[in-house]
Chains A and B, each alone.
Chain A
Amino acid sequence: MKGLFPLLIGLFGTFAFSWLGLTVVPNFQIGHLDPQSDEDGTDIYPMPKSGMVERGRHVYVANGCIYCHSQQIRPGYEAADIDRKWGERRSAPRDYIFDRPVQLGKERMGPDLSNLGKRAPAEESAPTTASAPTNAPSATTAANPAASSPPPPPNASPAGPAVSNVAGEPLPYSAAWHHKHLYSPRSVSPDFRDSNMPAFKFLYEKRLIEGERSADALQLTGAEAPPSGWEIVPTYDATCLVAYLMSLDQSHPLKEVKSSGSPAASAAASAAPPKGAK
């Protein structure tokens, strides 16, 4: 090649072509999306996350969770994501408009997390046992003297949500389960099979029990349990991380994506215009 000038033009041109085509043009197409709302202007999805959840996102990013967990559901005709009950519909660009940085993920050593919050237990199951932390009168870190209302009856009303199954283990995907999983992943592995998730013990503090166990102390058994008189409590970062994890929910139907979930779920939230609404 004799000329420097044609070379430079060519270098510039090929790269500009790629830059424009793969980043600028798609940015025009999907880079300025608004949340979806129904005709009344309600039911806005997605909503930006704030507060502890946002901080939890930073903890997620800082600790590299993306290297093992993804946050995207692939369509049912392409992959088994929906068969695995990780979600009811595929992910769409609109699901991520308030995520910064977006954590789509490229590897699945562990399961996908897009709808982790949705999978948290909501229904009550067996009544809680006496050792359940829900009953603690929180005398340890009494930051809120106003909360000294008369404690509810020990077997809390049947409407009281349960945090554990009968064996005292936290229900999967509940907040307590997340804490236990982060602290000691292998202790919640199904059937004692081996998960290779690293333990995030640095997100937890070990401290002396003052008076009663605190409400958010982890329920640990066996080799993982702290010596008697000590308890493991989450740090603020751990709490924020769990709040973030439990906020992950892409189940809201989107008009542009077909939902393969149950008709009841989609019909309840869908936009059948309520006539007569003022």
Chain B
Amino acid sequence: MNGNPSDRPPLARQGTDYGETSDVQEVHAAIQREKREPRVGLEPLSIWLIAVYGLALFLGGAYLGRYSGNFSGDSLDPLGGPPPAKKGAVGPGGGEQQVELSPHDRGKKIFSANCQTCHQANGLGVPGQYPPLAGSEFTNGGSRRMGMIVLKGLQGPVTVKGQKFGTAVMQPWDKTLTDQKIADVMTYERSEWGNNASPVTKEQIAALRKELANHPESYGEQDILAAPDEDIPGGGEAAAPAQAKPGEVTKPAPQPKG
């Protein structure tokens, strides 16, 4: 026990009586020499400090006011101001676009907005990843298979023009594009980049959509190849391109089980 008076540092109080309690803990020298617990003085604030506070508040507040972009959720720009004007609102030829666009041209707009990122503007796709549409057997074949792919999407490995693809998933477009739009974009794809296949009408797409209504989302290559390589029945307006396909690309064998 730390009981020897001679060991205590001179500042400790003498006469500690440990006999008060029988099982008191050993009072370590560290505790003995400790000063009292901290307490707080009451000095007043300095006027200079208040000046510093004022300056800080002013700077902070000024910064907040200046760079907050009107506190609006749309202002990404700290200097505020409305978001930039919509494009095309003051297009020079905007008013003249009253001419009815052909399905091909409508399809081109839809293509560049939706399909171009993957299949690329030149329809060549990305090797290993996004199949080409130019010269593809699916694009040039019957519109049924192509329609199935566009409506319901495609996943898993697929071979197009002899090359394998499989890293990307094609999303279904049945929920995001109307029948007319799907028809237009397919028409565009089937007549662009050297492709020469029959156009597609919205009635055909509507019929196909109804036919596939119960099908789960995405197809795999087997499903597509299992379907007959024909045009969707009900196609009315067979515009200029002939049904016969010039033989630049051969059709793949319809039987998957070889």
How many chain-B residues does the 8 Å CB contact rule pick out? 64
Query: Which residues of the partner chain B approach A122 to less than 8 Å between Cβ atoms?
Result: 120-122, 124, 126
> What's the count of A-B pairs with C-beta under 8 Å?
177
Task: Evaluate contact between B180 and A278: CB separation under 8 angstroms.
Answer: yes
Task: Evaluate contact between B83 and A256: CB separation under 8 angstroms.
Answer: yes
Bound CA span A75–B127, Å: 33
Q: Which residue of A lies closest to B93 (CB)?
A: A272
Give the Cβ gap from A60 to chain B, nearest Cβ, in Å. 15
Contact of B127 among A38, A52, A90, A161 (CB under 8 A): A161
Known: A270-B87, A272-B94. A243 touches B129 (CB 8 A): yes
Give the Cβ gap from B119 to chain A, nearest Cβ, in Å. 10
Contact of A144 among B121, B159, B202 (CB under 8 A): B159
How many chain-A residues does the 8 Å CB contact rule pick out? 75
Whether, in the assembled complex, B193 has its beta carbon less than 8 Å from a beta carbon of chain A, the answer is: yes
Known: A271-B88, A275-B97, A276-B100. A256 touches B169 (CB 8 A): no
Give the Cβ gap from A19 to chain B, nearest Cβ, in Å. 18
Task: Evaluate contact between A257 and B159: CB separation under 8 angstroms.
Answer: no
Known: A123-B122, A161-B124. A75 touches B77 (CB 8 A): yes
Q: Which of A104-112, A147-155, A191-199, A223-231 contacts B (4 or more CB under 8 A)?
A: A147-155
Contact of A161 among B100, B110, B126 (CB under 8 A): B126
Task: Evaluate contact between B129 and A175: CB separation under 8 angstroms.
Answer: yes
Give the Cβ gap from B255 to chain A, nearest Cβ, in Å. 8
Task: Evaluate contact between A149 and B113: CB separation under 8 angstroms.
Answer: no
CB within 8 Å of A: which B166-224 residues: 167-169, 171, 176-178, 180-181, 193-194, 202, 221-222
Task: Evaluate contact between B161 and A38: CB separation under 8 angstroms.
Answer: no
Main secondary structure on A side of the interface with B: loop
Task: Evaluate contact between B176 and A42: CB separation under 8 angstroms.
Answer: yes
With most chain A CB atoms within 10 A of its CB, the pick from B72, B124, B250, B257 is: B124
Whether, in the assembled complex, B52 has its beta carbon less than 8 Å from a beta carbon of chain A, the answer is: no
Known: A152-B162, A278-B180. A239 touches B167 (CB 8 A): yes
Known: A52-B168, A257-B84. A277 touches B128 (CB 8 A): no
Known: A148-B258, A149-B250, A243-B168. A161 touches B125 (CB 8 A): yes
Known: A145-B258, A269-B113, A274-B109. A174 touches B167 (CB 8 A): no
Query: Which residues of the partner chain B approach A237 to less than 8 Å between Cβ atoms?
Result: none
Whether, in the assembled complex, A26 has its beta carbon less than 8 Å from a beta carbon of chain B, the answer is: yes
Give the Cβ gap from A17 to chain B, nearest Cβ, in Å. 15
Bound CA span A121–B117, Å: 12
Bound CA span A176–B183, Å: 35
Query: Which residues of the partner chain B approach A47 to less than 8 Å between Cβ atoms?
Result: 171
Query: Which residues of the partner chain A approach B109 to less than 8 Å between Cβ atoms?
Result: 268, 274
What are 27 A-B pairs with beta-carbon distances under 8 A?
A42-B113, A50-B169, A118-B117, A124-B124, A144-B221, A146-B221, A148-B258, A152-B161, A157-B161, A160-B161, A161-B125, A161-B132, A175-B128, A215-B128, A216-B128, A243-B168, A246-B129, A252-B117, A257-B76, A258-B84, A271-B87, A272-B97, A273-B88, A274-B97, A275-B101, A276-B101, A276-B106
Partner-B contacts on A (CB < 8 A): 26, 28-30, 38, 40-44, 47, 50-53, 75, 90, 92-93, 117-118, 120, 122-124, 134, 138, 143-152, 156-157, 159-163, 174-176, 215-216, 239, 242-243, 246-247, 249, 252-253, 255-259, 266-278
| Nearest 5 Cβ contacts at the A-B interface | A29-B73, A51-B169, A43-B113, A276-B100, A147-B159
